[in-house]
Structure 1
Amino acid sequence: MVNNQELISDFENYLLVERNYSPYTVTNYLKDINDYQDFLSSEQLGTLLSVRKPNIARYYLAYLTGLKYSKKTIARKISSLRTFYKYLLKMDKVETNIFLDLEVPKANKTLPKFFYPKEMEQLFEVIDNNSVLGIRDRAILEMLYGSGLRVSELCNLKVKDIDFGNELVLVFGKGHKNRYVPLNKVTIKAIHNYLALSRPTLALKNETEVSDKLFLNHRGGDLTTRGVRVILNNIIEKTSENFKISPHMLRHTFATHLLDGGADLRSVQEMLGHVHLSSTQIYTHVSREQLKAAYMEHHPRARKKE
């Protein structure tokens, strides 16, 4: 008989290998499932495969609500469990997905945070373009901002994925779906400099193996998602601004600036690797806010006081 930990371990492997989810995403899935498992144990309601209480999904939803979790967190936790039981159903471990039809409170949609063009320039200005790590960091920032990659996609890039001739990068995205994303001239120059002046020096520091990954850490090993976040935080600390940064914020900035510049929604969807257009449409709301702000600031009638 399969125990709970074996089920969770098999699910983890499924997410990493078959679904190609990032380690960060998988960690959140596993935490949500383990939280549910602890709930079942503490309430003596059975196991993941055998629950004694009818309507356990609604009961767990009420429990989460009582803990004062935000609507967004509750929605994520239920979504994780829905995906987990969908997997169990697929593997014939259960007869039904008990979380399939559970309705959760809709979270209030928040607009993605992004950088304005002047703020992006500040980030680039503080990078030391003469040091080995500075040259690498600039290439990373140019790639995230210039191509809108997810941080996991950036870390998985190989040197051979850069097509300088056609000015494209081959991205291995979610769900084993590949896509080509254009590279602008500035990004191409930054990668050229990194490959010529930085990466060879970093690679020499790793005497145990030769990596085929594009971006290396300061020891010559593969750069991790956590390493990218550390690099970005270091860049922010050198600026005079007091704002936070994340790789996904640069992805938001990429999409927002493209739409502000007149790019069509379908093209942005393709470059971001979104399966559904609705995932991309949230950036149109950001652009509308930009338009409204510009109107209120510059139109004579908008500035006129009643």
Structure 2
Amino acid sequence: MNIEKSIQIYLEWKESHTTVAFERYEIRLEQFKQFIGETTALRSVKGDDIVAYHKQMDQFYSPATVAYSARILRNFFYFWHGRREVGFNPKEIIPIRFINPNKDIVTKEDYQEMDELLDVNCYDDLKKKLVLHLLWDTGMRISELCDIELSHISEENDEGLRTAKVRSRKSMRYNLVVWGRETNELLIKFLGVRLCQDVTTDKLLINIKTGKPYTARSIQRWIKELADLAMLDKNITPHSFRHGKANYILDEGGSVRDVSAILRHVKPESSFHYMQLSTKRYLDVARKYVTA
């Protein structure tokens, strides 16, 4: 069996139980196929070939991407090792260790500065303003934001709160996100235009020129442009709002349990991670337990 056929079979198996991982795995495995040669026999691939491939990747990709590629290839070869189609032990594929740089977070002040740049009476600004508010109010992942459909959004309750069902691509579970009155007012204005569009998709965020849903890349570009215009000396991304929301909850006296509930974490340790994202909060806690 050659590499091309083995990747095809593996991806069909992967797609049967995880759509998101399938898309990412497909990209990396296709790159490996180009490196090793699509007609190369699977059984002839050695551990040294994997090492050579990742050395080549080092020239063009970040350590995080190389480590992720190693995990994908290890899983791929474990799959075929179980079927006795591989001539080496996949344990030889060891992802490199590296230190992630500190991630920039969005503070309430950052969010407000970006928000003030936008005019609610301009439709292009209105949609970006709505995105900012939804990201800040809910701490949603960008994939969850892009996936919101009109039918997922509830009616406003007596307190001015509105909810929507979002699906996490990590756990494939549906959860509720909640936003407040100000964000809801923006949503109502936005829906005045959105509901007039004759499109087939039910997605909330669509490009009215093409009728197609906005992609994560579009929203990433909007956030970067706004951060630059606000002259924020940070590498702000949509995910920075999620980190910012967690820190805001803790700074306002909330608990790790509150962070876990609002951000819909499946694993408790994900919430505890935010305890050290803020140097000030970490020092405030540590100061209580050091010798005077």
Q: TM-score category by the smaller chain?
A: 0.7 to 0.9
Matches within 5 A, 1:124-143: 124-143=115-134
Q: Partner of 1:276 in structure 2? A: 267
Structure 2 residue corresponding to 1:50, chosen from 26, 43, 48:
43
1:214 aligns with 2:204: yes
Tell me the C-alpha RMSD between the 2 structures: 3.6
Unaligned runs of 5+ in 1: 296-306
Query: How far did residue 131 of structure 1 move?
Result: 1.3
Q: Partner of 2:54 in structure 1? A: 64
- Give the Cα–Cα distance (whole angstroms) in 2 for the partners of residues 126 and 99 of structure 1: 52
Q: Structure 1 residues 294 and 21 mapped into 2: Cα distance closer, same or farther (>3 Å)?
A: same
Q: Partner of 2:20 in structure 1? A: 21
1:290 aligns with 2:286: no
Structure 2 residue corresponding to 1:104, chosen from 79, 95, 115:
95
On the 8 A contact 2:71/2:95 being kept in 1, the answer is no
Q: Deviations over 1:204-233 (max 9, x none)?
A: 5xxxx3321111114132121122123223
Give the counterpart letter for 2:50 in structure 1: Y
State which drifts further: 146-155 or 59-68.
59-68
1:75 aligns with 2:70: no
Q: Deviations over 1:90-133 (max 9, x none)?
A: 8x585799435754343214332112221111110001110122
1:153 aligns with 2:144: yes
Unaligned runs of 5+ in 2: 286-292
Q: Structure 1 residues 246 and 144 mapped into 2: Cα distance closer, same or farther (>3 Å)?
A: same
- Give the Cα–Cα distance (whole angstroms) in 2 for the partners of residues 273 and 86 of structure 1: 31
Give the counterpart letter for 1:133 in structure 2: D
State which drifts further: 234-243 or 252-261.
234-243
- Give the Cα–Cα distance (whole angstroms) in 2 for the partners of residues 276 and 178 of structure 1: 16
Q: How many residues align?
A: 278
- Give the Cα–Cα distance (whole angstroms) in 1 for the partners of residues 203 and 269 of structure 2: 32
Matches within 5 A, 1:176-255: 176-195=172-191, 197-201=192-196, 203-204=197-198, 209-219=199-209, 220-255=211-246
Give the secondary-structure state (helix, strand or coil) at the position aligned to 1:181.
strand
Give the secondary-structure state (helix, strand or coil) at the position aligned to 1:271.
helix
Give the secondary-structure state (helix, strand or coil) at the position aligned to 1:21.
helix
Q: Deviations over 1:285-305 (max 9, x none)?
A: 113x1225779xxxxxxxxxx
- Give the Cα–Cα distance (whole angstroms) in 2 for the partners of residues 75 and 235 of structure 1: 31
Q: Partner of 1:298 in structure 2? A: none
